[in-house]
Amino acid sequence: MSRIIRSILLFGLFLILLLSPLVVRYLGHYRLFSREARPPVPVYNPGEAVSVVPTPVSRLFTDEPEVTSSGYVLLDMAHGNYMDETDITYLDSRLSLRGHQFARFTGGDLATALRRVNAFVVIAPLNRFTNAEIAAVRDFVDRGGRVLMVGDPTRFNVIFSDDFFSFSYTIENDDIALNSLANEFDIIFTGDYLYNTVNNEGNFRNIIIEGSGISEHALTAGLRQIAFYGSHSLMVGNGGRALLTGDRNTWSSATDRPVSPALAVLNQNGRVLAVGDVDFLAAPYYTSLDNSEFVARIADFLVGSSERRFVLRDFPFFYSPNVNLIYAGSPDLGPSAFDDIIALQQAFRNVNIRLNLAAAPAANHDILYLGLYNQASELEDFLKQAGITLVIDPPITTDDEDKEDDSTGTPTPTPTSDNGDDTKKEKDVRQIQSSLGNIQMSGTSLILLDESQGQRRVIVLAASKAGLESTVNRLINMMPLNASYTLADCLVQDTLALCPSGVNNEEVEAELDTGGAPEPSATPVPGTGTTPAPDTGTEDELGAIRQGTISLGQTVNGTLEPDELHSWVFNGGPAVIDITVQGSNLDAVLELYDSNFELLEYRDSTFSNQAETIRAVNIPDGDNYYIVVYDYFGDPSDYTLTVTTSEAGSGDASIFIFVDDDGTPAAGGIRSGEAIAAVLAAQYETTIWTTSIDGPLSENTLAGYNVIIWDSGDYRTSNEVFDPDMLIIFGHVFDAGAALIIFGATPALLDFDGGDLVALSDIEATEDEPILMDGIAIGDVYALDRTYQVVNVLLEDIDPENDLLLFSGGPNSPAVTFAGAASQAEISIFFLLSPYVALPTTLQQILLPNILAWMGF
Amino acid sequence: MTETNSRSFSPLYLIFVFLIAILLPLGLGLYLAPRVVPQPKIGVVRLTYEINSFTADLFKKQMAYARNDPAFKAVVVIINSPGGTASDSEEMFLEMLTTREQMPVVASIDFIAASGGYFTAVGADEIYAKSSAFIGNIGVIGLLPGGVFIEDDVLTTGPYKYFGSTRDGDVRTIETLKFAFLNAVQTGRGDVLQADPEFLSRAEGFDGVRSLELGLIDGIASTQNAIDRAAALAGIKNYEAVEIFDLVYDPEDFFFFAYHPSQQIDLERLWAQPTDLPPGYYYRYLKINSVR
């Protein structure tokens, strides 16, 4: 073996020995033959693989409807509706193009609110409808009204977490309140949402309805694609139909199965449309696909009812915009008729209907007939069509005819009583014969709706002028959109009502005599509160429901419905009167207006169950004055209203004169107690309490006094509004209802600026209040006995609604804009920024009695 | 005459030669073996809790470390995450793919790999999970912007300079991101995926068994099984599993995360709803509570 070979072998051995540990180690760590093949690393390139999701097309649609009518669509806002104005802006615009607009129903009687409309829209209510409301809508639909119900699965009662940015939320309640109404029409909003992960509009919950999913109907004709943005599925009972249906890839979250669900359905009679989504109505979603056209079709549906059938209780909303008022029998019309006509015209105007007095019917005008039974011969055909016969046997003659009859011995008809008692003469028949039975004319008014000959006419007949006026008032009270149902005490069919006229011992009069004002009746008018025969003013301008007339010394009762105002007419002047109202649970507010509806007095100074009184109001003439009564919170309540001659000046006052001289005197110490007592001595009992002599007031010091005169003279307390005497005085004033008179340069009540004083040397009258300023004319200037530094009260501290600014600084006191005022808003209070004895003697003699008279003493 | 050229060797000489010739190379080989053929390592990277920029940054550093150290032959990503921000989720998914170009990457789902957590997982060669794990929830969440407005005193050069996008545009973006997510799942899972995209876009979360049936994962296995599986894919049998976090971060850095990735999972934190999600797009499972 050569050396070379041996060297190679040795080197090989060396290498083997060198590498063998590495090989052994490698083989110990790695698998030589069992390594698994790995697929190549995939290429991730979404830029190529994923397409951008496009915004859907907005199909051009020109909405040019033919406007054939105008009116309102009632929009429910009374059930916690989870919507806002932006949701319905586009639908509102479509309705406007069709001559209609939304009227908001925010509460009250739904049946009453539905009277004026052809359609009712309910969007995402969170509160259930009551049985009465469901019945009202059912009745509305049965009479041709149309209803749109829109639900939305995104509009639940949801409580969000406190963290605004958090996704965390809890669903409080998934009850679909809309079903309370929908179920009445065999429609169910399923508690689900729909989704489609295959064919959708940008998101699984945005459902595209197309092709066979759009059924043939006037609401959907020509539509190719609709997109709903979060929708319930709907179910409809037999006879109903699905208008929009999702495809087979549309699943319900309730079942997670493909269900081909309905997203919009019509009920059996086609008058109730239910839609599972709100958002498609709203921007920007109404611009998607054919949504805008579908919204327009819905607007067509809402305004297009030709089946609407009205009944009497829909009065006056079934009328066309122009109505003629015709008096049956063509009587000569006098002043009291004018009152009726004016009141009716005003009431009609408030509901956008023009009422014109006419002698005969005219084409294109609906009609309101007013008349007496005895003068209704021209209406006989209409009455006969309604199955009504008026029987007056023997016939009633006019006065002239009576005179003739008297001479021939024909008996004058005797009035019949309501219950047809023994006073009814056997041969006198005064009956309304109808399907409701035979009713005595006396005490009964008839209201009939007739829709023959292409016109709507309401015939109102009564036995007497007073009965007719009462019934006219009943009609007026029916008109406000939120009016309570005023036919509740009537015998009612759809088009006929026989109502009590509210006139006791009513005669069946021969002819309508409207020559003078009617006598107020003391008999309550059913359905409009327990009121006397109503006056016929125009109180509607006050927004109050007229109750009638109240005379001096009379007490009347009334019943306030929720949010209702009552107005009463007082025309018993001239007089100085007190007006008092009190009722159970009534937080009364009293207002007094003059004949021009200018507010004279306003009083809201007490709380629930306490009497509210306007005292010593000077009614200078016999014009109509209007007393308005309402509850501060709008709660329903019974009340009693009384108008009495004011006891002002009666001397029935127990007066406490509090000379508050425990402060710092600015002008040497001025007290007016003796002077005040001297002025009042002739008519009133007074007690003087002087702090420096009698000490501070205690809790019981003021007990039994109904007038507190607080005289601080020129003294100024350092306690300001925390003055303990003031706390006691105001405690007594509020608790006992006492009146308060304040004299002083720096009374604690007004001294809250702590040092901001101005010079006052004369005062000038600025008000001509008839009682307070009796004997004082505007512009009269009274010099004080010297110049006083008085508190600087700013004019903006005066409430112009309730406070009377009586005196300002005179010509020599230009810095004083406020020197004296009075108010009866919260309490009855008068104050003058001057010591009483600083006033001229003549003014002292005039002013104090005036103040007490104004306060009702 | 024949001349014999022979030499005689002393025993000492022979012993010396033997030592030189045999033991030297052998000893040298033994010395070099662990240095030339180090024990292969399988890196353990944990994705725990919410995905955000911090967790994504931590994740990326660990993956980069594994790629740059030749001792690491495979990486196992242990996932316990409900997802989080969309961009960070996608970033980690891409990091997985990058690492896969060098070595096997196996995902092991412990409790939950939802939404962005699963988005990250699909970047692995294989995904293993427990049968009780929560897997999937493939989809996007975003807050839509509110109404737009202009102001007198602030002038912008475009109607959406203030707002960034239209409401409708955000709807489209969110849907587009959903498709990107689905594309990532299809890309990552390849032929294994049995569920169609429409079904997956329902965003359901599945247990491990159902996930296996749908091809969302490759098997039901423990974390150790997943590590073994990564070793098999890497062709190694005697390995060391190494927590890469410890190699990347100092303990002082822990305060950023308030936990060590290998600590026991705080289940309350894991499943908690986020209390503050700033505007943006999220691959996030929220587990909404309701009292329906």
- Work out the average pLDDT over A45-65: 83
CB contact under 8 A, A163 and B276: yes
Nearest beta carbon to residue A29 from set B141, B199, B237: B237
**Which residues on B lie below 8 Å from A24 (Cβ)?**
33
pTM, two decimal places: 0.61
Residue holding tokens 């079709």? A297
Nearest beta carbon to residue A167 from set B169, B187, B273: B273
Q: Is the dihedral of CA A48, A50, A55, A57 positive or negative?
A: positive
Percent of chain A with pLDDT over 90: 22
B251, burial (CB in 10 Å: exposed 0-12, middle 13-18, buried 19+): exposed
CA proximity to A793, closest of A808, A813, A810, A776: A808
Q: Does this complex have an ipTM over 0.95?
A: no
SS3 A578: strand
Lowest-confidence range among A27-36, A100-109, A395-404, A720-729?
A395-404
**Which residues on B lie below 8 Å from A198 (Cβ)?**
198
Nearest beta carbon to residue A163 from set B180, B275, B291: B275
- CB-based contact, A19 to chain B, within 8 Å: yes
CB contact under 8 A, A170 and B290: yes
Interfacial B residues in 251-290 facing A (CB < 8 Å): 273-278, 286, 288-290
- pLDDT category, B16, cuts 50, 70, 90? confident
- CB-based contact, A37 to chain B, within 8 Å: no
CB contact under 8 A, A14 and B237: no
Q: How far is A237 from chain B (nearest CA, A)?
A: 26
Nearest beta carbon to residue B29 from set A22, A28, A36: A22
Closest A-chain CA to B198: A197
Q: Higher-confidence residue: A91 or A608?
A: A91
Structural domains in chain A plus CATH codes: 71-160+171-303 (3.40.50.880), 310-526 (3.30.379.10), 537-646 (2.60.120.380), 654-854 (3.40.50.880)
Q: How far is B251 from chain A (nearest CA, A)?
A: 32
- Interaxial angle between packed helices B86-100 and B167-189, expressed in degrees from 0 to 180 and rounded to the nearest 10: 20
Burial readout B130-143 (b: 16 or more C-beta within 10 A, e: otherwise): beebbbbbbbbbbe
CB A430 within 8 A of CB A413: yes
Q: Which two tokens stand for residue A115?
A: 């009277």
Dist CA A229 CA A241 (whole Å): 22
Residue A29's pLDDT is 87
Sequential DSSP letters for A275-293: ES-SGGGSTTGGGSBTHHH
Q: How far is A62 from chain B (nearest CA, A)?
A: 24
CB contact under 8 A, A50 and B174: no
Nearest beta carbon to residue A55 from set B172, B235, B238: B172
Burial readout B199-218 (b: 16 or more C-beta within 10 A, e: otherwise): ebbbbbbbbbebbbebbbbb
Q: Which two tokens stand for residue A754?
A: 């702590």
Q: Higher-confidence residue: A781 or A542?
A: A781
Dist CA A229 CA A773 (whole Å): 70
Residue A484's pLDDT is 58
CATH fold of B36-267+277-284 reads: 2-enoyl-CoA Hydratase; Chain A, domain 1 (3.90.226)
CA proximity to A847, closest of A812, A807, A813, A808: A807
Sequential DSSP letters for A718-778: SSGGG-HHHHHHHHHHHHH--EEEEEESS-TTT--SSS-EEEEEEEEE----TTTTTT--T
Lowest-confidence range among A135-144, A636-645, B135-144?
A636-645
Dist CA A27 CA A796 (whole Å): 101
CB contact under 8 A, A44 and B97: yes
Helix (H) or strand (E) holding B208: helix B208-214
Nearest beta carbon to residue B237 from set A30, A42, A284: A30
Residue A291's pLDDT is 94
Cα separations (Å) of A277 from A182, A189, A218, A240, A593? Answer: 15, 10, 20, 19, 51
CB contact under 8 A, A167 and B171: no
Dist CA A278 CA A488 (whole Å): 38
Interface mutation target, options B90, B93, B168, B177, chain A, most CBs of A under 10 Å: B168
Closest A-chain CA to B275: A166
Interfacial A residues in 271-290 facing B (CB < 8 Å): 284
Phi-psi bin for A454: left (phi > 0), alpha (psi -120 to 50), beta?
Answer: left
Q: Which two tokens stand for residue A347?
A: 């009431």
Residue A403's pLDDT is 52
Paired residues of A245 in beta bridges = A262
HSE-CB for A686 with a 13 A CA cutoff: 22
- CB-based contact, A84 to chain B, within 8 Å: no
Closest B-chain CA to A161: B275
CB contact under 8 A, B183 and A50: yes
Domain boundaries, chain B: 36-267+277-284
Per residue in A436-462, pLDDT (tens digit) is 788 888 889 999 999 888 889 999 999
Interface mutation target, options B175, B236, B240, B277, chain A, most CBs of A under 10 Å: B175
- Interaxial angle between packed helices A85-97 and A291-303, expressed in degrees from 0 to 180 and rounded to the nearest 10: 60
Interface mutation target, options A41, A84, A196, A256, chain B, most CBs of B under 10 Å: A41
Q: How far is B259 from chain A (nearest CA, A)?
A: 24
Per residue in B126-142, pLDDT (tens digit) is 999 999 999 999 999 98
Strands A612-619 and A575-582, by their bridges, are antiparallel
- CB-based contact, A131 to chain B, within 8 Å: no
Residue A720's pLDDT is 57
CB contact under 8 A, B29 and A34: no
Residue A622's pLDDT is 76
Q: Which two tokens stand for residue A707?
A: 């007038």
Q: How far is A49 from chain B (nearest CA, A)?
A: 7
First to last CA, chain B: 118
Per residue in A558-597, pLDDT (tens digit) is 888 887 888 888 887 777 788 888 887 788 888 888 887 7
Dist CA A687 CA A654 (whole Å): 8
Residue B291's pLDDT is 44
Lowest-confidence range among A275-284, A524-533, A844-853?
A524-533
Closest A-chain CA to B204: A256
CB contact under 8 A, A22 and B171: no
Helix (H) or strand (E) holding A784: strand A781-791
Strand runs (DSSP E) across A201-268, as ranges?
A: 206-210, 225-229, 234-236, 241-245, 250-252, 257-258, 262-266
CB contact under 8 A, A20 and B37: no
- Give, in degrees to the nearest 5, the angle at Cα A34 between A29 and A38: 105
DSSP percent split of chain B into helix, strand, coil, nearest 5: 45, 20, 40
Most confident of A670-679, B47-56, B207-216: B207-216
Q: How far is B86 from chain A (nearest CA, A)?
A: 14
User: How many residues are present in chain B?
Assistant: 292
- CB-based contact, B100 to chain A, within 8 Å: yes
CB contact under 8 A, A21 and B125: no
Nearest beta carbon to residue B190 from set A31, A35, A39: A39
- CB-based contact, B159 to chain A, within 8 Å: no
Dist CA A184 CA B56 (whole Å): 57
Q: How far is B152 from chain A (nearest CA, A)?
A: 24
Dist CA A541 CA A345 (whole Å): 12
CA A347 vs. chain centroid, Å, equals: 17
Closest A-chain CA to B291: A171
The amino acid sitting at A647 is E
Residue B253's pLDDT is 61
